[in-house]
Chains A and B, each alone.
Chain A
């Protein structure tokens, strides 16, 4: 019962999916102990951040049916908020709070403006307008170099408790030193869980149902008396705010922020791929998609390197399997999933479970 309440009544509804989600959670929680080394910890942290970011994008794309290419803009605002505040005010918790608050406010205003001005138009125009706005914002951020550090970005110190220098105890626990990095990591996991459950709550509320109705048939939703523009704008604002929080987490973890780490269009494409491959319209899809994508991004290359070396005699195959071409395979998977299984991995799993029952 408690479990069901915690998940807002939106259970995985597939045994395989439930196991998968538990495995992801357990994997994240146990990473510092099970997989030693900085790379594994960084990958796990990135998965946490992207689960929040991709879920917030799913709120917009999967639940409301709006394609926006400005999502990384809000992600970047969050990251820059924390980066600039900590850079100017020094490594204090007040700095973090000020940065997050200012970033949230800016995202709120911007997403409200973009929403009110342009959510009346067709999906395609909205996609184009957000693409243009996001490009302009990226240029803007890299031009304001006094403030944002330009192309070089900003490096800063985080509060004592989270910095690598801080140590909780002299003695390592299970072979892992209890330092600030570890605390930062678990803070990240905790915030991710809270934000994810909050979003799950939102999409399963009556408000979330209206969003889904708009996605399915905006005309009918309007006819039922829901002002679709208002709901779309709310959805836009909410998703922007969650993306901002994800950005703040990213900055806190990396202790650095620059245009390429949080604002670039490549990240936008990555998020789109994660949502679609995982499964649009279910937040669990974002979890699966983000985890799969980031693991592939970080570890498939090693595998491809082996395959490519094995194929070094065959020219074209060798180039296709070149480690730098991992995005090619994910891109093909993406295209296939858009028209073969638009509900993504999660949708497939649920359909299988339904067929069995």
Chain B
């Protein structure tokens, strides 16, 4: 792909790439700008936590999507179906464990929520495996067909979910110990949002560790940069891709559980509605970049909450506005991925 210039052959001069930290500054800048606008510090804390929580959930969902795109140029318009699936599985699992979710003890609540999350991840991952086989593999390298067929997969998936769980919205109440908020001075922070932030950070840490410290992660990153080169070194990128796709679907399932608990109701259409948000996030981050996706998600989450408080009518367009601004500054997203 890239021409080999003499300088890259020189042994001593392996240039160190200076990490690009400017996009990282966007988050504190946005948060700081919001302080005077919101008026009171305690409101700001509440809004910031709400925004971070929302951003973390979006990140969990979107990270798989952006990696799958980076590796194989596959953009899954049906990603939303895994979110819906995860959320509906949570209603089934938690619905059977009301004794534990209605209990006051945090430990018991966690023992109900964790299996729900595990089940959602397992089933969404399994369905992801089938989805990759049946829907995506036959149309590799044909972007037009890919868009249509993943959309078709989404339609069929949502209809099948309606067959199993019905077409109505199902309430998904928070376990008792997750309800209510904690007071930090004047500022109220909802407990569940705190929990979402913690889970989100854990997922980010694990993903960061896998991608930067393990061999699989190295191969994934290399594959995103230059697929052919990784293949020519003897690694089967196809298998790697399946693994990433399944992991991405499982994470979408987990995100679905968290989003469902965040909204406290679950509808068959929820996945499709989040899809647009996901696309905005991965475009902002730079298609294929996990770091960019993380910053993009948090930016979208914060922006949605600040704008929702300051100017509710503008809030509906705040994400698109954010995307336009970012793209005017960096047309390929915050962290452009090399080959495109």
The 9 closest A-B pairs by CB, nearest first: A328-B159, A331-B155, A335-B152, A331-B156, A128-B279, A139-B316, A334-B152, A123-B143, A338-B149
Contacts of A320 in B (CB 8 A): 163
Query: Residue A276 at the B interface, CB < 8 A?
Result: yes
Interface range on chain B: under 10, 10 to 19, 20 to 34, or 35 or more?
35 or more
Q: Contact: B163 with A325, CB < 8 Å?
A: yes
Query: Residue A122 at the B interface, CB < 8 A?
Result: yes
Beyond contacts A123-B147, A132-B323, A135-B276: 19 other A-B pairs, Cβ-Cβ < 8 A, are A67-B144, A124-B75, A125-B283, A136-B316, A140-B317, A265-B272, A269-B151, A273-B155, A319-B164, A320-B163, A324-B162, A327-B159, A328-B155, A328-B159, A328-B163, A331-B152, A331-B156, A335-B135, A335-B156
Q: Point out residues on B near A: beta carbons under 8 Å.
A: 73, 75, 77, 135, 138-139, 143-149, 151-153, 155-156, 159-160, 162-164, 167, 272, 275-276, 279-280, 283, 313, 316-317, 320, 323
Pick from A128, A276, A316, A325: contact of B159, CB below 8 A: A325
Q: Contact: A331 with B320, CB < 8 Å?
A: no
Query: Residue A339 at the B interface, CB < 8 A?
Result: yes
B253 to chain A, nearest CB (A): 21
Q: What CA separation (Å) do A133 and B143 show in the bound complex? A: 20
Query: Residue A127 at the B interface, CB < 8 A?
Result: yes
Q: Can you spell out 14 A-B residue pairs with CB atoms less than 8 angstroms apart?
A: A122-B143, A123-B144, A124-B143, A127-B147, A132-B280, A269-B151, A276-B148, A320-B163, A322-B163, A325-B162, A328-B162, A332-B156, A335-B135, A338-B152
Interface residues of A in 135-186 (CB under 8 A from B): 135-136, 139-140, 143
Q: Contact: A65 with B167, CB < 8 Å?
A: no
Query: Residue A342 at the B interface, CB < 8 A?
Result: yes
Query: Closest residue to B135 on the A side, CB-wise?
Result: A335
Pick from B145, B155, B167, B276: contact of A131, CB below 8 A: B276
Q: Contact: B149 with A335, CB < 8 Å?
A: yes
Q: Contact: B320 with A338, CB < 8 Å?
A: no
Q: Contact: A339 with B138, CB < 8 Å?
A: yes
Q: Contact: B155 with A334, CB < 8 Å?
A: yes
Q: Point out residues on A near B: beta carbons under 8 Å.
A: 65, 67, 122-125, 127-128, 131-133, 135-136, 139-140, 143, 265, 269, 272-273, 276, 316, 319-320, 322, 324-325, 327-328, 331-332, 334-335, 338-339, 342
Q: What CA separation (Å) do A123 and B144 show in the bound complex? A: 7
Q: Contact: A339 with B279, CB < 8 Å?
A: no
Q: What CA separation (Å) do A84 and B280 show in the bound complex? A: 32
Contacts of B153 in A (CB 8 A): 335
Q: What CA separation (Å) do A146 and B23 show in the bound complex? A: 40
Q: Contact: B317 with A338, CB < 8 Å?
A: no
Q: What CA separation (Å) do A336 and B276 show in the bound complex? A: 26
Q: What CA separation (Å) do A298 and B121 show in the bound complex? A: 38
Residue in A273, A319, A325, A328 with the greatest tally of chain B CB atoms within 10 Å: A328
Contacts of A124 in B (CB 8 A): 73, 75, 143, 146-147
B238 to chain A, nearest CB (A): 18
Q: What CA separation (Å) do A123 and B73 show in the bound complex? A: 11
Contacts of B152 in A (CB 8 A): 331, 334-335, 338
Contacts of A276 in B (CB 8 A): 148
Q: Contact: A132 with B279, CB < 8 Å?
A: yes
Q: What CA separation (Å) do A357 and B75 show in the bound complex? A: 41
Contacts of B272 in A (CB 8 A): 265
Q: Contact: B155 with A269, CB < 8 Å?
A: yes
Query: Closest residue to A125 on the B side, CB-wise?
Result: B283
Query: Closest residue to B313 on the A side, CB-wise?
Result: A143
Contacts of B135 in A (CB 8 A): 335
A323 to chain B, nearest CB (A): 12
Contacts of A269 in B (CB 8 A): 151, 155
Q: Contact: A319 with B156, CB < 8 Å?
A: no
A270 to chain B, nearest CB (A): 10
Q: Contact: A67 with B162, CB < 8 Å?
A: no
B134 to chain A, nearest CB (A): 8
Given contacts A143-B313, A265-B272, contact A338 B145 (CB under 8 A): yes
Query: Closest residue to B331 on the A side, CB-wise?
Result: A121
Q: What CA separation (Å) do A27 and B259 show in the bound complex? A: 49
Q: What CA separation (Å) do A127 and B317 show in the bound complex? A: 19
Contacts of B320 in A (CB 8 A): 132-133, 136
Q: Contact: A319 with B151, CB < 8 Å?
A: no
Contacts of B146 in A (CB 8 A): 124
Residue in B144, B145, B280, B283 with the greatest tally of chain A CB atoms within 10 Å: B144
B172 to chain A, nearest CB (A): 22
Given contacts A124-B147, A132-B280, contact A139 B156 (CB under 8 A): no
Q: What CA separation (Å) do A272 and B144 show in the bound complex? A: 12
Q: Contact: B156 with A328, CB < 8 Å?
A: yes
A248 to chain B, nearest CB (A): 27
Contacts of A265 in B (CB 8 A): 272
Contacts of A131 in B (CB 8 A): 275-276, 279
Q: What CA separation (Å) do A334 and B152 show in the bound complex? A: 7
Contacts of A339 in B (CB 8 A): 138-139, 145, 149
Q: Contact: B156 with A67, CB < 8 Å?
A: no
Q: Contact: B155 with A342, CB < 8 Å?
A: no
B150 to chain A, nearest CB (A): 10
Query: Closest residue to B162 on the A side, CB-wise?
Result: A325
Q: Contact: A272 with B143, CB < 8 Å?
A: no
Query: Closest residue to B155 on the A side, CB-wise?
Result: A331
Contacts of B139 in A (CB 8 A): 338-339
A211 to chain B, nearest CB (A): 14
Query: Closest residue to A215 on the B side, CB-wise?
Result: B144
Contacts of B313 in A (CB 8 A): 143
Q: What CA separation (Å) do A338 and B77 show in the bound complex? A: 15
Contacts of A128 in B (CB 8 A): 75, 279, 283
Pick from B148, B159, B275, B317: contact of A67, CB below 8 A: B148
A187 to chain B, nearest CB (A): 34
Q: Contact: A127 with B280, CB < 8 Å?
A: no
A152 to chain B, nearest CB (A): 18
